Structure formats: C-alpha cells, structure tokens
Amino acid sequence: MATARIGYVNMADVARLSVSSQNLLAPIARLQDPHVGVRWQGTSGAEWIVADLGAIRTFDAVRMMGLTADTIRIRYSTTDPTAGDVADSGVQPVDQAFLTFTELRRVTARFVRVDVTSTTICSGGRLFIGALETFGINFAWGWTRKWVDPSDRKKTEGGQTVINRRQRYRIFAVSFEALTDAEANGFTDDIDRINGLTDDVLFVPVPDSSNLERDSIWGLMTDLSPVAQQFLDRWTKQLSIEQRL
C-alpha cells in the first residue's frame, strides 16, 4: 500500500475560472465556495471549466466534488486553455456513490480544463487543485473510516418513529507514529497553523486504492492534536478529518 498523502493549499481558490455556461443564480464562482453543497450549475448536459492558475505551477491532484455528471475529462496545458499538451486523463466515469472524481498526477501546467457530461444539467460543488505532501512512513494499523448520520429520530405517542432526514457524512481518523523531525516541524505543523479547524484539506490515505473516491476525503480537521516526541527524531500525531458538505 502506498503511503498517505495530504494537500492543504487549494490553488483553485485563487485561480481565474471560466466556463462554457452558467446559471446566473449558480455561477462558476461557487466552485470556490467552501461548501460543497453550494453548486455551480450549467445550462446543458455538456460543459467545460478552465482554471487559469496565473503562472505555470506544479501540483499533484485535481478533485471535483458535488458533481452532477456521468463522465469527466481533465486536461493540462502550459499555454493553451483549450488543449491538453501536458497531460490528458481521457474520458472517465464519475463515481455516482460519492459524486466526486479525483486524479492523482504530478503535473507542471498553468491551465486545467475540466469537461463534464450528464444526461441532465451539469453541476459541481467544489474544485481542488494542489500539491500533496507524502508521509515518509505510513499511519499505524487500526485507522478508521465511518459514516455519520445526523438525522433526528423521535418516537410519537403512538409509538411510530418520525425521522427528520439529514445528509450523511464521513470521518477518517488515523495515527502517525513515526513522523520525522522534518514532517513534525514542517508540513504537519503548517496544516495546523494555516488551515486549523477552519480550512479544508484533501487527505488520501490509500493513494493506490482501486476505489480512490471511497478511500479519500475532503474536509475539516475535527481536532488539532499535538505532536508528541517519542524518540530523538520520531514523533506521533493523530489526524481526524470530517467530510465537508
């Protein structure tokens, strides 16, 4: 199993976004809204989005979330926003269980073009483009991944169960028990300092998973756990990430 990776700076949030079409009540700027449920909506079943990063940048992941789409294609370019002279994902299916698509690919480019198709009107809730840090030694056995159902359930006087349904979300929890000095004092500390409990991260515990959408999460830290020095150059730290809806 490949070691876990994490990204915490979203280049898409400062990119210039253009789009083939947009509902005036659901503009493309919504892809930069922190809430995945606040969606951009197109006007047809075939749309494209281009993110101009402003300069040639190096990054490792592109993730689209909150998708209403059947297929997706991601192209990368240094000069032409309509082309894929650097790399091309080809047409890929969108995971209908998680409504996301994640591509892990180290790329140096300025433009990221996303094409989506749907049998209905295309829409999307969040775009991430960013570099990923790779942990040198993976997390310990015993990591957890669970669904949380915040729905209210109440019993009536007649004994019936009345349910106020709410959207389910996931929480991932892992424990790193052999961080190096560079990791403990570097990017893991930066995540706590820069993102804290208020800005999202992309955590990919199983980068070589056959089901990357199931085995990755975009969300907020639930707690800023301390790093604890166990040996001269080895540290421990727990991460718990709650999915952003």
Q: Are 4 and 238 in contact (CB under 8 A)?
A: no
Q: Which pTM value belongs to this model?
A: 0.95
Q: Are 237 and 188 in contact (CB under 8 A)?
A: yes
Q: How many helices (H) and strands (E) does the chain have?
A: 2, 19
Query: CA–CA separation, 78 vs 57, rounded Å?
Result: 9
Q: What is the CATH number of domain 5-134?
A: 2.60.120.260
Q: CA-based Rg of the chain, rounded to a whole angstrom?
A: 19
Domain ranges (residues) in the chain: 5-134, 144-243
Residue 9: per-residue pLDDT = 98
What phi and psi, each to the nearest 5 degrees, are found at residue 135?
Answer: -70, 135
**Sign of the alpha-carbon dihedral angle for 184, 189, 190, 196:** positive
What are the DSSP calls for 70-133, one per residue? SEEEEEEESS-TT--SSEE--SEE-BTTTTBEEEEEEEEEEEEEEEEE-SS--EESEEEEE--E
Residue 232: per-residue pLDDT = 84
Residue 10: per-residue pLDDT = 98
CA dihedral angle for residue 106, residue 237, residue 219, residue 57, rounded to 10 degrees: -30
Closest CA to 187 of 143, 240, 227: 227
Residue 153: per-residue pLDDT = 92
- Burial of residue 21, with CB atoms counted within 10 A of its CB: 0-12 exposed, 13-18 middle, 19 or more buried: middle
Q: What is the mean pLDDT of the chain?
A: 97
Ramachandran region, residue 142 (left: φ > 0; alpha: ψ -120 to 50; beta: rest): left
Strand partners, 203: 6, 217
- pLDDT per residue rounded down to tens, the chain (245 residues): 799 999 999 999 999 999 999 999 999 999 999 999 999 999 999 999 999 999 999 999 999 999 999 999 999 999 998 888 999 999 999 999 999 999 999 999 999 999 999 999 999 999 999 999 999 999 999 999 999 999 999 999 898 999 999 999 999 999 999 999 999 999 999 999 999 999 999 999 999 999 999 999 999 999 999 999 988 889 999 999 999 99
CA distances from 152 to 166, 167, 170, 244 (A): 8, 11, 17, 20
